[in-house]
Structure 1
Amino acid sequence: MTGSGTGPAPAELIRSGLIRYATAERFGRPRAVTLRDTRPPSGEICPQPPSRLDAVMGPPRDSRPQGEDCLHLTVTTPGMDDGARPVMVWFHGGGFSSGAGLMDWYDGGALAAQGDVVVVSVNYRVGALGYLCLDGVSEGNLGLYDQLEALRWVRDHIAAYGGDPGGVTVFGQSAGAISVRLLMETAGAAGLFRRAVLQSAPPAITERPREEAEALGRIFAEHLAAHGETPASAGHAALLDAQRETAVAQLLRSGSTLEPPFSPVDGVCGQDGADFGGHVRGLDVLYGWNADDMTAFPGEEGDPAELTDRMYAVPLTELGDRLVRAGARVHAYRLDWRPAGSPFGATHCLELPLLLGSREAWQGSPMLGDTPWHEVEALGAALRATWLGFVRTGVPGPVSWPGTCAAL
Structure 2
Amino acid sequence: MTEPTLIRTGPIRYATAQRFARPSPAPDPDPDQTPDRTRSQTPGRRTSSGEICPQLPSRLDAVMGPPLDRHPHGEDCLNLSITTPARDAGARPVLVWLHGGGFSSGAGLLDWYDGGALAAQGDVVVVGVNYRLGALGYLCLDGISEGNLGLYDQLAALRWVAAHIAAYGGDPGNVTVAGQSAGALSIRLLLDMPEATGLFRRAILQSAPLALAARPREDAQALGRMFAEFLATDPRTADVSAILAAQRETALANLSRSGSTMEPAFTPVEFLGSDPSSGSFEENVRGLDILYGWNLDDMSAFPGEGDETAALTRRVYEEPLGRFGLRAARAGARVHTYRLDWRPAGSAFGATHCLELPLLFGSREAWRASPMLGAVPWEDVDSLGSKLRAAWITFARTGTPGPMSAPLHQGKVPG
| TM-score category (smaller protein) | over 0.9
Provide the rounded CA distance (Å) in 2 between the counterparts of 1:83 and 1:341.
43
Provide the rounded CA distance (Å) in 2 between the counterparts of 1:113 and 1:328.
29
Provide the rounded CA distance (Å) in 2 between the counterparts of 1:49 and 1:334.
31
Shift of 1:254: 1.4
Provide the rounded CA distance (Å) in 2 between the counterparts of 1:89 and 1:32.
17
Does the Cα contact within 8 Å between 1:185 and 1:271 map onto a contact in 2? no
Provide the rounded CA distance (Å) in 1 between the counterparts of 2:377 and 2:164.
39
Residue-by-residue CA offset, 1:342-366 (whole Å, 9 max, x unaligned):
0000000000000001110001000
Does the Cα contact within 8 Å between 1:170 and 1:197 map onto a contact in 2? yes
Q: Aligned to 2:365, which of 357, 360, 363?
A: 360
Decide whether aligned partners of structure 1 residues 331 and 299 sit closer, same or farther in structure 2, where only a CA change above 3 A counts: same
- Structure 1: which 5+ residue stretches go unaligned? 1-7
Shift of 1:204: 1.4
- Structure 2: which 5+ residue stretches go unaligned? 29-42
- Paired residue for 1:395? 400
- Paired residue for 1:24? 17
Residue 114 (1) aligns with residue 121 (2): yes
Q: Aligned to 1:348, which of 337, 353, 356?
A: 353
Does the Cα contact within 8 Å between 2:293 and 2:339 map onto a contact in 1? yes
- Paired residue for 1:15? 8
Provide the rounded CA distance (Å) in 1 between the counterparts of 2:229 and 2:216.
20
- Paired residue for 2:328? 323
Shift of 1:38: 2.3
Residue 201 (1) aligns with residue 208 (2): yes
Decide whether aligned partners of structure 1 residues 271 and 46 sit closer, same or farther in structure 2, where only a CA change above 3 A counts: farther
- Paired residue for 1:46? 53
**Equivalent AA in structure 2 for residue 352 of structure 1:** L
CA RMSD, aligned part only? 1.4
Residue 189 (1) aligns with residue 188 (2): no
- Paired residue for 1:301? 306
TM-score computed with the length of structure 1 as normaliser: 0.95
- Paired residue for 1:175? 182
Shift of 1:257: 1.2
Does the Cα contact within 8 Å between 1:100 and 1:124 map onto a contact in 2? yes
- Paired residue for 1:381? 386
- Paired residue for 2:376? 371
Decide whether aligned partners of structure 1 residues 121 and 356 sit closer, same or farther in structure 2, where only a CA change above 3 A counts: same
Residue 405 (1) aligns with residue 412 (2): no
Q: Aligned to 1:274, which of 250, 272, 278?
A: 278
Residue-by-residue CA offset, 1:14-43 (whole Å, 9 max, x unaligned):
011210000001001100012572252111
**Equivalent AA in structure 1 for residue 148 of structure 2:** N
Shift of 1:269: 10
Instruction: State the secondary structure of the residue aligned to 2:177.
Output: strand
Shift of 1:272: 5.6
**Equivalent AA in structure 2 for residue 103 of structure 1:** L
**Equivalent AA in structure 2 for residue 292 of structure 1:** D
Provide the rounded CA distance (Å) in 2 between the counterparts of 1:183 and 1:345.
31
Provide the rounded CA distance (Å) in 2 between the counterparts of 1:302 and 1:258.
13
1:230-269 aligned at under 5 Å gives the runs: 230-268=234-272
Shift of 1:183: 1.1
- Paired residue for 2:171? 164
Does the Cα contact within 8 Å between 2:4 and 2:85 map onto a contact in 1? no
Does the Cα contact within 8 Å between 1:187 and 1:269 map onto a contact in 2? no
Provide the rounded CA distance (Å) in 1 between the counterparts of 2:273 and 2:95.
22
TM-score computed with the length of structure 2 as normaliser: 0.93
Does the Cα contact within 8 Å between 1:399 and 1:405 map onto a contact in 2? yes
- Paired residue for 2:36? none
Residue-by-residue CA offset, 1:84-143 (whole Å, 9 max, x unaligned):
000000000000000000000000000000000000000000000000000000010000
Decide whether aligned partners of structure 1 residues 202 and 79 sit closer, same or farther in structure 2, where only a CA change above 3 A counts: same
**Equivalent AA in structure 1 for residue 239 of structure 2:** G
Does the Cα contact within 8 Å between 2:27 and 2:46 map onto a contact in 1? no
- Paired residue for 2:150? 143
Shift of 1:185: 2.2
Provide the rounded CA distance (Å) in 1 between the counterparts of 2:3 and 2:300.
34
Decide whether aligned partners of structure 1 residues 213 and 103 sit closer, same or farther in structure 2, where only a CA change above 3 A counts: same
Q: Aligned to 2:68, which of 57, 61, 66?
A: 61
Shift of 1:250: 1.2
- Paired residue for 2:222? 215
Residue-by-residue CA offset, 1:265-313 (whole Å, 9 max, x unaligned):
1125978653021121111000000000000001211101111111111
- Paired residue for 2:37? none
**Equivalent AA in structure 2 for residue 191 of structure 1:** G
Instruction: State the secondary structure of the residue aligned to 2:75.
Output: coil
Please identify, of 213-222 and 36-45, the stretch whose mean Cα deviation from structure 2 is larger. 36-45
Q: Aligned to 1:284, which of 286, 289, 309?
A: 289
Shift of 1:9: 5.5
Provide the rounded CA distance (Å) in 2 between the counterparts of 1:200 and 1:376.
19
Decide whether aligned partners of structure 1 residues 148 and 271 sit closer, same or farther in structure 2, where only a CA change above 3 A counts: farther
Please identify, of 248-257 and 60-69, the stretch whose mean Cα deviation from structure 2 is larger. 248-257
Provide the rounded CA distance (Å) in 2 between the counterparts of 1:347 and 1:268.
35
Decide whether aligned partners of structure 1 residues 180 and 338 sit closer, same or farther in structure 2, where only a CA change above 3 A counts: same
**Equivalent AA in structure 2 for residue 241 of structure 1:** A
Answer 1 or 2: higher relative contact order, Cα 8 Å, separation at least 6: 1
**Equivalent AA in structure 1 for residue 66 of structure 2:** P
**Equivalent AA in structure 2 for residue 186 of structure 1:** M
Instruction: State the secondary structure of the residue aligned to 1:319.
Output: helix
Shift of 1:258: 1.2
Provide the rounded CA distance (Å) in 2 between the counterparts of 1:288 and 1:360.
27
- Paired residue for 1:94? 101
Does the Cα contact within 8 Å between 1:220 and 1:243 map onto a contact in 2? yes
**Equivalent AA in structure 2 for residue 162 of structure 1:** G
**Equivalent AA in structure 1 for residue 93 of structure 2:** P
Decide whether aligned partners of structure 1 residues 272 and 76 sit closer, same or farther in structure 2, where only a CA change above 3 A counts: farther
